[in-house]
Structure 1
Amino acid sequence: MKILTNKFDLFGLDIGDRSLKLAYLEPIGKKAILKSASSIDVPKGVFDKGALIKPEVFCENLTKLIAKSAPKKISTKYVHACLPETHTFIKLLSIETGTREEISALIREELPRHVPLDINESYIDWNIAPSAKPNPGQVQVLVGAIPKKTSDAYTNSLKHCGLVPVSLQIEAQAILRCLLPFEPKAENPFVIIDIGATRSSFIYYDYGTIQFTVSAPFSSEDITDIISSQLSLSKEDAEKAKISIGLDPKKGQASLIKILDPMIKELAQSIQKNNSFYLEHFPGARPITSLMLCGGGSLLSGLPELLEKEIPNIKISLGNQMQHIQENKDISLNLAYTTAIGLGLTNVFDS
């Protein structure tokens, strides 16, 4: 949901249940220079499944996040932020063609049949989307919706922190902006899985648009907790083991593979189940042949290789979160920053 024009010096802010991350980018043509980045852990209880419970604590942590940004200090007050995935809805609809006003009216009539929202208490945005099988007299539209209560809470809290929210974006759109080329070529469909702190988000992309999104309970936090519990490690040491050793059998910790194997198999089953759902319920759907991982949980060493053994017909790789960013020897961001980078790239794509 846009609030103002976006032609400002600004930064991207990824708001998660367990952390805040920012990326400050300067557009240079169709690339960007990464000027600054930072992250901060958020105490439990500030958010509850995306709902902002303690706005004062949120503001305190956001102020600290901006203050610790480096190497360049952030002076702008303008921000592109993301909305909580658990409160947003994306739906691809087939609507009778007409004027923009007529299409908007038809969307408001049709959307309640597909998402559990009170349309009169929701913000709705949409755009024309490419169609897999165009029907005469119809157009496909990609619709995004969020309860006004949730959106207004985020907007008001950001303003209370002294910021100006230029846009509030659905997380999946920011992730795609980061991981896709500026002009994606016609290619086979693929899935992006964002493995976050408390859940994983699946984004199905085909025919030049998002087809649908779905969540799964597999999370980075659960991985760390299991390693900590089974190996009697502190959370900090378990996190280090997850990233440095992970599922790589060459690193001499077969016990980690054994501990995490049930979780990996469960994730593989979720992928196969969602792939089948896509093929069965979406007209013109094509078999998924590739999958990209991002988010903090994707830093689990060896995860793509182990998943490919479970699902051999799908090519699995890590996303390239830095593809639109000029190399900066002073700073580089891992895949945990995918959403923040995608938000920060908004002006690059729109310029």
Structure 2
Amino acid sequence: MFQITPQAFSLDISDNSLKIALLKKKGRNLSLESFSQIILPPGLVQQGDIVNPDEIANWIKKAITQVEGRRIKTKYVLTSLPEERSFVQVIPLPPMKSQEINNALQWEIEAHIPLKSDEVFLDWQLVEPYNKKAKQIYVLIAATPQNIVTNYVRALDMAGLLPLALEVASISTARSLIEKGKSQNPTAILDLGIDRTAFLLYSGKTLCFTANIPLGSQHLTQAISEKMSVDLNTAENLKTKVGLDEKKGKEILQSCQPILDQIITETQKYISFFQHQCPLDYAPCESVKKVLICGGGAQLFGLSAYLSLGLKIPAELANPWINILKPPLKSVPKLSFTESLGFSTCLGLALGGLELIP
């Protein structure tokens, strides 16, 4: 009997917005068939927790009807789980068969996260070891509290959707940005959102760990507003038009510096934490060679140069299309490169869905 995996679209839910993407295989190539983004009213999702599932369901329906491109007909969906409420890390286990891992994790997980095994939704994948002589096996775990997951499933059900997969956002983001899922040297990813920045450390063929920095693009806007005594809308426009260009707006740069310097300090701390774990059997463990920047806040002019200088590591805008579009391009997506930086998680989710299709 053949097992057929239905077509599904991806849905990235955050505190501030919903994003949708639908990818389709066309021979050896992929194309973006549909996408949309809708801004949510404040308070419906708080720190990753869906407070009002029935209201979110209505907004999901609205986002589906407003897609650009082909109309979405499928009821199957791939949905992100909140990074800030989840625990992602690689843990060691004694050598065992794949079918035994799930059982072993129920006992091991409580030693690695501050929740009981029956309180979490657990996803895991076996990590291909970097050291072929490793005496243990390594498993990447992603655990999210059950009460958080329940509200996501309830909202999807109320929207008339069937979840094909639920995945912690950082795993989707890494799938989108790391070419062919392999990084020869350790790579840091900074996903700059509205109210937080997600830190991801990827090395070899696995995401090693993640962390959250409670600073985002709205904090930059607020800093500009306060320093220059302008309203938030004016501050946002100044940030967008001038960015970190000292020649065009020295006062804007000075406003943003304390926030950006805190992000740099936290990033350095997490990079140092990774390097103090070395050597590792499951991933290359040299110094971090590159920082990739994504998220809606990544569009800030001069951000890459500022982070490169502060971190003393080359920082560059990530490419969310690196595993989707293959040269020569058959067509240019309607979603611009700049906009796509904020769709990194959503596109990675959609890529994961295609991997389920034989």
TM-score normalised per structure 1: 0.91
Matched, 1:347 2:353: yes
Residue 30 (structure 1) shift: 4.6
Residue 228 (structure 1) shift: 2.9
- Per the alignment, residue 268 of structure 2 pairs with 272
Output the amino acid matched with 1:338. Answer: S
When structure 1 is superposed on structure 2, of 230-239 and 104-113 the one drifting more is 230-239
What RMSD over aligned residues (CA atoms) do the two structures have, in Å? 2.0
Matched, 1:291 2:291: yes
Paired residues of 1:91 and 1:211 also in contact (CA < 8 A): yes
Paired residues of 2:220 and 2:255 also in contact (CA < 8 A): no
Paired residues of 2:175 and 2:181 also in contact (CA < 8 A): no
Residue 299 (structure 1) shift: 1.1
Output the amino acid matched with 2:272. Answer: S
Residue 113 (structure 1) shift: 0.8
- Per the alignment, residue 176 of structure 1 pairs with 174
Gaps of 5+ in 2: none
> Secondary structure of the residue that 2:180 maps to in structure 1?
coil
Deviations along 1:284-308, one digit per CA (max 9) or x if unpaired, are 3321111000001111111010111
Classify 1:244/1:322 alpha carbon distance in 2 versus 1 (closer, same or farther; 3 Å): farther
- Per the alignment, residue 315 of structure 2 pairs with 316
Q: Matched residue pairs, number?
A: 344
Residue 261 (structure 1) shift: 1.1
Matched, 1:205 2:211: no
- Per the alignment, residue 129 of structure 1 pairs with 127
Distance (whole Å) between structure 1 residues aligned to residue 128 and residue 4 of structure 2: 25
Return the match for 1:240 from 237, 241, 248.
237
Matched, 1:328 2:332: yes
Classify 1:264/1:38 alpha carbon distance in 2 versus 1 (closer, same or farther; 3 Å): same
Residue 70 (structure 1) shift: 1.1
Distance (whole Å) between structure 1 residues aligned to residue 250 and residue 28 of structure 2: 44
- Per the alignment, residue 189 of structure 2 pairs with 192
Matches within 5 A, 1:36-51: 36-51=34-49
Classify 1:169/1:228 alpha carbon distance in 2 versus 1 (closer, same or farther; 3 Å): same
> Secondary structure of the residue that 1:126 maps to in structure 2?
strand
Residue 329 (structure 1) shift: 5.4
Distance (whole Å) between structure 2 residues aligned to residue 273 and residue 330 of structure 1: 38
Output the amino acid matched with 1:197. Answer: I
Distance (whole Å) between structure 1 residues aligned to residue 266 and residue 160 of structure 2: 41
Output the amino acid matched with 1:334. Answer: S
Classify 1:136/1:85 alpha carbon distance in 2 versus 1 (closer, same or farther; 3 Å): closer
Output the amino acid matched with 2:83. Answer: E
Output the amino acid matched with 1:343. Answer: L
Distance (whole Å) between structure 2 residues aligned to residue 196 and residue 229 of structure 1: 20
Residue 208 (structure 1) shift: 1.2
Any runs of at least 4 consecutive aligned residues in structure 1 with deviations exceeding 6 A, and if so which? none
> Secondary structure of the residue that 2:332 maps to in structure 1?
coil
When structure 1 is superposed on structure 2, of 64-73 and 108-117 the one drifting more is 64-73
Residue 195 (structure 1) shift: 0.9
Distance (whole Å) between structure 1 residues aligned to residue 4 and residue 81 of structure 2: 17
Residue 133 (structure 1) shift: 4.4
Matched, 1:258 2:277: no
When structure 1 is superposed on structure 2, of 121-130 and 207-216 the one drifting more is 121-130
> Secondary structure of the residue that 2:34 maps to in structure 1?
strand
Output the amino acid matched with 1:187. Answer: Q
Residue 76 (structure 1) shift: 1.9
Deviations along 1:262-299, one digit per CA (max 9) or x if unpaired, are 11211111111111111113433321111000001111
Return the match for 2:25 from 24, 27, 41.
27
Paired residues of 1:30 and 1:348 also in contact (CA < 8 A): no
Paired residues of 2:78 and 2:353 also in contact (CA < 8 A): no
Identity among equivalent pairs (%): 29
Output the amino acid matched with 1:347. Answer: G
Output the amino acid matched with 1:152. Answer: T
Residue 183 (structure 1) shift: 5.2
Classify 1:183/1:41 alpha carbon distance in 2 versus 1 (closer, same or farther; 3 Å): closer
- Per the alignment, residue 6 of structure 2 pairs with 8
Distance (whole Å) between structure 1 residues aligned to residue 241 and residue 119 of structure 2: 46
Classify 1:150/1:30 alpha carbon distance in 2 versus 1 (closer, same or farther; 3 Å): farther
- Per the alignment, residue 219 of structure 1 pairs with 216
Classify 1:136/1:39 alpha carbon distance in 2 versus 1 (closer, same or farther; 3 Å): closer
Residue 141 (structure 1) shift: 1.0
Output the amino acid matched with 1:340. Answer: C
Paired residues of 1:192 and 1:293 also in contact (CA < 8 A): yes
- Per the alignment, residue 143 of structure 2 pairs with 145
Distance (whole Å) between structure 2 residues aligned to residue 65 and residue 44 of structure 1: 17
Distance (whole Å) between structure 2 residues aligned to residue 291 and residue 149 of structure 1: 34
Output the amino acid matched with 1:319. Answer: A
